[in-house]
Amino acid sequence: MFQRVFSRLKQGLKKTRDAFASGLKALVRIGRRVDESFLEELEEAMITADMGVQTTQELLEHLREAYMDREIEDPKAFLGYISNYLEQHLRRGGNELITAPSGPTVILVCGVNGCGKTTSIAKLAYHFHRVENRKVLLAASDTFRAAAVEQLDVWAQRIGCDIVKHKSGADPGAVAYDACAAAKARGSEVMIVDTAGRLHTQTGLMKELEKIRRVLAKQIEGAPHETLLVLDATTGQNALAQVDLFHQSVPLSGLFLSKLDGTAKGGVVISINRQFEIPVKFIGLGESYEDIQPFSPDDFVHAIFGQDVA
């Protein structure tokens, strides 16, 4: 089972691995010396993978020192050094989901238009309902975009979980309110709230998101236990600005990084993890509801470097 999950992760990160780790391997394989031009090429490979300037510079600094101190003798050893460094860097803790001590765990999901919210919610529903065998209820609080309710409804049917929905155009806060009542009455263990895509400049829509959050907080103690921002990994470094702006409206507790399969810039996980206190909790690796993985720093680095898990 674990091997299957890991090979799915490796498959999903193929583009990043090809661009970054394979590039690095080619760099060290030609039996060259470590000199300035080697370090420059290394830097380029890291920036291309979107690891961020800060992480790249810091890592290069460490590599230089380790080489000067003769801790690393030949270029091949650089690979092990880099993967260890990244693993330690990513392993900050807090990647686990926060759950309610009793009653439903409420997860509010937000993000810009088209970033993958609804698909990611389907993946979360699949993960909790089908993998962890917990009772899941979805709240269709995106009443703004035409067909958004139907889209979520189709996922709920496929996965076999509950859904609370109103008509398109209804008040998303009222949907959230009804969903809380239903979750309590039906003994749901996890309730996931879909919301409309919005930009921070759309003041009305941002206020609406804050209102949904208030409704949840009033109806269920401690809710939302998680507020997840879905970030499209293919947007690269732009994702960083979105974290800042959404966090100002609704305090975020975690990130769901979607579409990692579609980018060679998977290194963005590293810069996001570095820049914010907010941890990456899940990653999305495809369009099917099975393409979800709870984020594990060690597995992520192993998958990128193409090593087998220990």
Ligand X SMILES: Nc1nc2c(ncn2[C@@H]2O[C@H](COP(=O)(O)OP(=O)(O)OP(=O)(O)O)[C@@H](O)[C@H]2O)c(=O)[nH]1
Binding interface with Mg ion (CB under 5 A): 117-118
Among 258, 271, 293, 296, binds ligand X (CB under 6 A): 258
Burial, 298: exposed, middle or buried (Cβ in 10 Å; 0-12, 13-18, 19+)?
Answer: middle
Strand partners, 190: 105, 136
**Span near ligand X by CB under 6 A; candidates 52-60, 173-181, 199-207, 279-287:** 279-287
Peptide bond into 251 cis (omega under 30): no
**Span near ligand X by CB under 6 A; candidates 43-51, 56-64, 257-265, 274-282:** 257-265
Name the minimum Å distance from CB 131 to Mg ion. Answer: 22
Torsion from C-alpha of 218, 220, 221, 222, nearest 10 degrees: -90
Q: Using CB distances below 5 to 8 A depending on partner kind, what does residue 288 bind out of ligand X, Mg ion, none?
A: none
Confirm or reject binding of residue 113 to ligand X (CB under 6 A): yes
Rounded CA-CA distance 44/39 in Å is 9
Strands 190-195 and 136-141, bridge-based pairing:
parallel
Name the minimum Å distance from CB 180 to Mg ion. Answer: 20
117 vs 281 by CB, closer to Mg ion: 117
Which of 288, 285, 269, 289 lies closest to 7, judged by CA? 285
Binding mask 282-301 for ligand X (x = CB under 6 A): --xxxx---x----------
DSSP 294: E
Rounded CA-CA distance 307/310 in Å is 9
Count Cβ atoms below 10 Å from residue 189 Cβ, excluding itself: 19
**Span near ligand X by CB under 6 A; candidates 34-42, 82-90, 163-171, 258-266:** 258-266
Among 259, 265, 281, 302, binds ligand X (CB under 6 A): 259
59 vs 231 by CB, closer to ligand X: 231
Confirm or reject binding of residue 140 to ligand X (CB under 6 A): no
Which residues make up the interface to ligand X (CB under 6 A)?
A: 111, 113-119, 142, 145, 148, 197, 258-259, 261-262, 284-287, 291
